[in-house]
């Protein structure tokens, strides 16, 4: 069975369980799974039940597809995502985004945990993503193009919706939240960066670095899906502030950022 047929089979399986249309997709990143608590849940499906769906191997990702609503907006949320460093191909990493598009989403909200590179940032704060730098060794669009999903050479000049960025900034200001805006660099991982690599990333224009998000955004934009992204700053790659970090510390920092991120995301969904 080819890739397009796998997407259709997965989407059909889900539609048989949840026939209602969904307009907004959400990807919940490391330590940010409780953002799903903002959703009034109608149905949860384990990834293991969905045909051709990958399974997350990261302990901080639970692996459920959640259907429900935030306010009067119907959403589908991935509680746990897939990473290139887990050994998956880029087509496997982005398979759920293709499926969500087949379910009808027109907007995709992504969240992640990241290392902060901008000296103005602090652990536990949030950053609204305005652009990204793709440093992955492979594109999710590599190989034969599936014309039904979009053009061979999709434009990425507006990868992150200016409309949604401005709306999120307005929400953050109204609630007097501390927030940053900036450029996210996507790398393959799973190792963290050396001090020289942090310096390099900052030099080329990145404000944060992480191991996800970019592949999903590329695929979403190819399909014409409007994208908004936010990062929780869980450690620092700023000279003089670099220290050894554990996954437990990353998750703890993400949870510190979670209330702000969850509020901005949920209010954004309600106002879209």
Degrees, nearest 5: CA angle 182-78-161: 35
From the candidate CATH numbers 3.40.50.1000, 3.30.390.30, 3.40.50.1580, 3.70.10.10, the one assigned to the domain spanning 3-271: 3.40.50.1580
SS3 content of the chain, % helix, strand, coil (to 5): 35, 25, 40
Question: Which pLDDT tens digit goes with each residue over 119-132?
Answer: 999 999 999 999 99
Q: How confident is the model at residue 35 (pLDDT cuts 50, 70, 90)?
A: confident
Tokens of 37: 């608590």
Tokens of 158: 């507006």
Pairing of strands 107-116, 24-28: parallel
* Sequence ranges of the domains in the chain: 3-271
- Strand runs labelled E in the chain: 24-28, 40-46, 64-70, 73-79, 107-116, 126-134, 180-186, 208-210, 226-236
CA distance 168 to 122: 20
Question: Which pLDDT tens digit goes with each residue over 63-112?
Answer: 889 999 999 999 999 988 899 999 999 999 999 999 999 999 999 999 99
Tokens of 157: 């000049």
Residue 267 pLDDT: 94
Q: How confident is the model at residue 44 (pLDDT cuts 50, 70, 90)?
A: very high
Residue 45 pLDDT: 94
- Which of 257, 115, 270, 80 has the alpha carbon at shortest distance from 192? 115
Rounded to two decimals, the pTM is: 0.94
Element (H, E) at 90: helix 90-93
* Average confidence score pLDDT of the chain: 92
Is the Cβ–Cβ distance between 112 and 213 less than 8 Å? Answer: yes
Per-residue pLDDT at 61 exceeds 70: no
Residue 247 pLDDT: 83
């Amino acid at each position: 069975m080819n890739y397009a047929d796998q997407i259709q089979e997965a989407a059909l399986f889900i539609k048989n369980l949840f026939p209602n249309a969904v307009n907004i997709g959400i990807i919940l990143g490391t330590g940010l799974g409780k953002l799903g608590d903002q959703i009034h849940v109608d149905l949860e499906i384990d990834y293991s039940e969905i045909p051709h769906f990958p399974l997350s191997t990261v302990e901080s990702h639970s692996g459920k597809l959640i259907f429900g609503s935030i306010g009067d907006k119907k959403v589908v949320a991935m509680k746990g995502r897939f990473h290139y460093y887990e050994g998956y191909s880029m087509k496997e990493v982005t398979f759920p985004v293709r499926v969500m598009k087949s379910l009808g989403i027109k907007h995709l909200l992504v969240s992640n945990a990241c290392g902060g590179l901008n000296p103005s940032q602090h652990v536990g704060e949030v950053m609204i993503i305005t652009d990204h730098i793709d440093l992955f060794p492979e594109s999710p669009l590599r190989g034969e193009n599936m014309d039904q999903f979009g053009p061979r050479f999709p434009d990425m000049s507006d990868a992150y919706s200016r409309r949604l960025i401005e709306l999120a900034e307005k929400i953050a200001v109204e609630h007097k939240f501390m927030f940053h805006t900036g450029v996210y660099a996507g790398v393959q991982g799973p190792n963290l960066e050396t001090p020289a690599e942090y310096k390099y990333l900052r030099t080329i224009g990145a404000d944060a670095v992480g191991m996800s998000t970019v592949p999903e955004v590329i695929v979403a934009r190819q399909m014409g899906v409007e994208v908004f992204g936010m990062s929780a700053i869980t450690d620092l790659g700023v000279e003089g502030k670099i220290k050894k970090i554990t996954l437990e510390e990353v998750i703890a920092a993400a949870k510190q950022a979670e209330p702000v991120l969850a509020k901005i995301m949920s209010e954004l969904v309600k106002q879209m």
